[in-house]
Structure 1
């Protein structure tokens, strides 16, 4: 485990010269994304952050931006409205960023929640949580890769469940549309594995970009109350139990933000970023070099080697082709 003191020491080295100067946060209006933005702004470095969120989040997020500007007047936070469960809106948001920026140093993707209730689809025909946790994330990456390649230390972080992959995914029904295939646990395990194997393929094609699939552990993000059918008694019981466990055993908002800022900046992952004197992280192929890193809540790299070998051999090609075909109209 990377100790919290080590993480704080690394983050204390972030300044105008070492900070990610241009960042895009998708999901930064709440949860881990919001905690990480606060941690980044609190470094005092000169940074520009595109904060992407739904229109309904704009008013409370404006207050959050004012708070950040008070903490760090050199932080330029740009509110960017976008309904990121819709791929057409993802494309619109990305096109706007590409018109304004010549590079992006950090792309931080954390929108989503577990689909506890009945299946809900977007107007584009995708299951809502899968669109948030997988398709829209991969579309953001594909659109912004040209800008990431212009950075000296580009990094992409997808916050979901890196290292928790299960090899028993439904490759014949990747979107879990067939009767009996959809459910909260089935959905999460499917989306986690799809994130990892698609990101690993992207990492192999973009060796200068560091990719991290992060498992944040127990953090009170409010997601225990999301995704349920309205009025569900089970939802209230579940939220009470989970939030109680998080209170006693989870990370605080501040520590979660600091740990994800460390993931966003430290040379522990891929040898780029803030100098790291500890043991170097190893990527999903077991190598201490750039690639995809499966990083758990302790900021340790997981291999999950047996599962990854199976996914790589049986499923990666099919998921890659399926995803590229589905996203092609929005590229």
Structure 2
């Protein structure tokens, strides 16, 4: 795996020729997405970044944009307001971006939070965490594919739980976990991680010109565990306060390290395609081919081809996963 020094040395080579000139970041007003935007802007390259976020984050986004554009006057950051848990909003914002940009070099998807609270559905009838972590991400990919295909070295990054896939990790008989008693935090998060890889593996196989990465963020202190509809007096709330928060503070990598690692994922030729030249060991995708497969990437920027897992997923789960995705997303495509 690349060392942190090698990652930072690679990122130091990012310039106008190798930086993603047009990027879309969905979920970057906080957390790993924001850290990656900061790292990209800090390269000094000329970039245009569409920062997609909800209305409640607008003030925070305005302060962030002013700070980043002052630090790098060659960076243009376009605030794009949307409630992306709603698929209709994802469609709208993708249409808006596509009308302005003939090409998109980077699509970075990190919106969402762990479903530790009660099951809550959006106005469109989807569990809110599943919509943020899976359906809306896949819709962003499918709607922006024409612009991605038009780019010279396009890349899609979904930051969720790459590497934690299992051969039987998808409940194919209840993909949306709607049956009574079938929804729990642990099962839901595992389901959404596996759905990401199953769907992106198929899209990657159909679009070998585009590099697809499902990345794990590792331990990062983003405040994610405090989001969602959680009873403050519940056992989970006390578990977070007494155990999980101290553990995260103990194990979490620094914000700078997190941003540098995700920037490496966004730009390094280690993951195929054109990018910042990489002379180390090349990454291996799920098809174990030069192109056309999904790169499953650990928090240390190493690839896990999951050679015993993904063939099973591809055979037993992917057809049902894709059929359900087309059913849900069809009205918005």
CA distance in 2, matches of 1:51, 1:203: 24
Tell me if structure 1 keeps the 8 A contact 2:208–2:291.
Answer: no
> Matched residue pairs, number?
331
Which 5+ residue runs of structure 2 have no aligned equivalent? none
TM-score, normalisation: structure 1: 0.97
8 Å CA contact retained: 1:270, 1:290: no
200-209 vs 222-231, which moves further: 222-231
Structure 1 counterpart of 2:207? 206
User: In the aligned structure 1, how far is the partner of 2:283 from the partner of 2:306?
Assistant: 14
Aligned residue number for residue 151 of structure 1 = 151
Which stretch shifts more, 79-88 or 246-255? Answer: 246-255
* 1:309, distance to aligned residue in structure 2 (A): 2.0
Q: Please show how residues 158-237 of structure 1 align to structure 2 within 5 Å.
A: 158-166=158-166, 167-233=168-234, 234-237=236-239
Residue 11 of structure 1 corresponds to which residue in structure 2?
Answer: 11
Aligned to 2:248: 246
Q: Is the 8 A contact 1:225 1:239 kept in 2?
A: no
CA contact (8 A) 1:105 1:153 kept: yes
Distance 1:61 1:280, change over 3 A: same
Query: 1:114 maps to which residue?
Result: 114
C-alpha displacement at 1:228, in angstroms?
4.2
Which digits, 9 at most, give the CA deviation of each residue in 1:40-67, with x for residues without a partner? 0000000000000000000011001111
Q: For 1:239 and 1:311, locate their aligned partners in 2 and report how far apart those are by CA, in whole Å.
A: 36
Partner of 1:2: 2
Pick closer, same or farther for the CA change 1:138–1:239 going to 2, 3 Å: farther
> What is the match of residue 280 of structure 1?
282
Conserved? CA contact 1:280–1:288, under 8 Å: no
Query: By how many angstroms is 1:154 displaced?
Result: 0.2
Partner of 2:68: 68
Partners of 2:255 and 2:233 in 1: CA distance: 27
1:298 is aligned to 300
Q: Distance in 1 between matches of 2:164 and 2:232?
A: 31
Counterparts of 1:15-26 in structure 2 under 5 Å? 15-26=15-26
Given that 2:217 and 2:298 are in contact with CA atoms closer than 8 Å, whether structure 1 keeps it comes out as yes
